[in-house]
Amino acid sequence: MHDGADPCSRLIGHWEERFAEDAETYFFGKEPSALGRLALRFWKLCRGDDTARILDLGCGEGRDAAWFAEQGHRVTAVEPAPSGLAKAHRLAEERGARLETGLCCDMLEVDLAGYDLYFAGNSLNLLGRSCLPFLRRLRAATPRGGLHAVRIATRESWGPDPRPGHYRFDHNELKHEYRGWRLLYYGEDLIYVPHLDRLASFADIIAQKTRGAAREPD
């Protein structure tokens, strides 16, 4: 895990404080994100009624992970903030489902093999300099036919100098990362974030690893 000094552990501490503040209130709400909903729509389109083995990286309080489980999928949720993961388990239970596995750890330490749908909702940025190498590893670990659904902050609103420990994507950079994959959805948006009282910009992608996808360098 991280030592107390690095920016990554400070970021996780920040989220743990948020999630621990009030056990009843879910910071991002209990409903699935737009990307979570879209990811399952594309899963159905590509794979019909197959059960997906889903890896939710940085699940927070589990709004997407719990919903994926409720929809009958096998979900492994990764979240280093213990209060977030505990709330994710609770939310799944409230919905009559359960997370198959909850890993309270850094996503950099997770065995990435063995999943069909990799989901990362606004969490990869927090890997800082490890973000792009991790994304590369994630693509390499994905089986042919597997899907990625990723939402990530872009530089448009945040500026070219990211805060320590953050990595921001340039316009179209995320799409470029997935060249050779089947692009199912790509969009960039600029939204008002009330708790920050500012505009924030994001890129979303849903892509499928095709037969022809180039082998990723290790």
Ligand X SMILES: C[S@@+](CC[C@H](N)C(=O)[O-])C[C@H]1O[C@@H](n2cnc3c(N)ncnc32)[C@H](O)[C@@H]1O
| 60 near ligand X, judged by CB under 6 A | yes
* C-alpha radius of gyration, the chain, whole number: 16
Of 121-129, 139-147, 172-180, 195-203, the window that binds ligand X (rule: CB under 6 A) is 121-129
| 86 near ligand X, judged by CB under 6 A | no
Three-class SS state of 182: strand
| 107 near ligand X, judged by CB under 6 A | yes
User: Strand locations in 80-214, DSSP E?
Assistant: 101-103, 117-121, 147-153, 182-193, 198-208
Task: Lay out the site mask for ligand X across 21-40 (x = CB under 6 A, - = otherwise).
Answer: -------x----x-------
| 122 near ligand X, judged by CB under 6 A | yes
Sign of the alpha-carbon torsion through 202, 207, 213, 215 = positive
Among 52, 54, 59, 69, binds ligand X (CB under 6 A): 59
Among 71, 87, 92, 121, binds ligand X (CB under 6 A): 121
Q: What is the dihedral of CA 179, 184, 190, 196, to 10 degrees?
A: -90
Distance, CA of 78 to CA of 119 (rounded, Å): 10
Least spacing, CB of residue 135 vs ligand X, in Å: 13
Of 120-128, 154-162, 189-197, 209-217, the window that binds ligand X (rule: CB under 6 A) is 120-128
Least spacing, CB of residue 179 vs ligand X, in Å: 25
| 92 near ligand X, judged by CB under 6 A | no
Determine contact, residues 106/80, Cβ cutoff 8 Å: yes
Q: Which residues bind ligand X (CB under 6 A)?
A: 8, 11-12, 15, 28, 33, 57-60, 63, 78-81, 84, 106-108, 121-123, 126-127
